[in-house]
Amino acid sequence: MKTIQITHPVSEVVLSKAKPCLLAPGFFDGVHLGHRHLLQTAREIAKRKKLTFAVMTFFPHPRQIVHGASVKVLTPLAVKAERLQKLGVEKLYVIRFDSGFARLSSEKFVKQYILGLKCKHVVAGYDFRYGCKAQGHMERLTRTGRGKFAVITIPKITYGQEKISSTAIRRLVSLGKVDRIPHYLGSYHEAIGTVKSFTLFHGKYQFIKMMVDQDVLLPKPGVYQIELNIGQQSCKGVCHQISTFVNSGEFLVQISGSLVAPTEQRVRLRWIQPLFGKEHEIHSRDPCFAEEEFII
């Protein structure tokens, strides 16, 4: 997959290198089951029409610029790109969402970023909006595209009675209901972080103190069953958010068994389910602060 970073206004160099494509625009936070249905549909059409399968996404989150809000995401840009590549995306356009891009009219968005990138087919969700103040919608895009590009609108995908959406998943994460997330996301919610210390405690338990990357939305403070991946190593354990501040990013992970976790090693953490009761408490006040700790 080729990734192309674009800062508004899009340069003539980027436009001159564009080739006829099918374009799927959207923020795609989490790349959840609804997104995957859309992207699989887009990939099949692109293959049938012999077009490059391209995705357009935005960074940072539009709310951060439009409303000045601090937004925690389900998937940082690098993880999102990784998931999109696995779904067969051939070209990824990353538009830097700044104040200039936010003021772009819906008509100019189509002219510069749909027609300008030689898009022959657009596949997007029924609620996709574009242009200044989100004035553009799928009906308008369909009308605008007549004779220029085709438009396919993907209806909402539901689990039970609820629409599968990034908003619904963020709510479950914030409430700590991590065991329900696979029904919407297709996998458990995860974050990538860095090992800060590794402790052997009484020869029975191992403790890893880690700091999760700050741009990821974290479950509410509590104790959770987790899965940990460090390099080629994988294990299950219990994780406790050290700080009482939501989204602090500092965690203490307790595992049993043998695991090598060098300091500053990158680690992937997945939340499996919340745990309740004293039998699930971390078996130490915080061994990572103990004087006799052993740190690799």
> Per-domain residue ranges for the chain?
2-155, 190-289
* pTM of the predicted protein model: 0.90
Mean pLDDT across the stretch 57-67?
95
Question: Which CATH code fits 190-289?
Answer: 2.40.30.30
Please state which architecture CATH assigns to domain 2-155: 3-Layer(aba) Sandwich (3.40)
Q: Read out DSSP for the chain?
A: -EEEEEESSPPHHHHHH---EEEEES--TT--HHHHHHHHHHHHHHHHHT-EEEEEEEES-HHHHHS-----BSS-HHHHHHHHHHTT--EEEEEE--HHHHT--HHHHIIIIIITTTEEEEEEETT--BSGGG-B-HHHHHHHHTTT-EEEEEPP-EETTEE--HHHHHHHHHHT-GGGTHHHHSS--EEEEEEEEEEEETTTEEEEEEEE-TTB--PPSSEEEEEEEETTEEEEEEEEESSSSTT--EEEEEEES-----TT-EEEEEEEEE--SGGGS-SSS-GGG-TT----
Among the ranges given (105-109, 183-187, 239-243), the one the predictor scored with the smallest mean pLDDT: 239-243
Report the range of poorest mean pLDDT among 42-46, 60-64, 272-276, 287-291.
Answer: 287-291
Q: State residue 100's pLDDT score.
A: 97
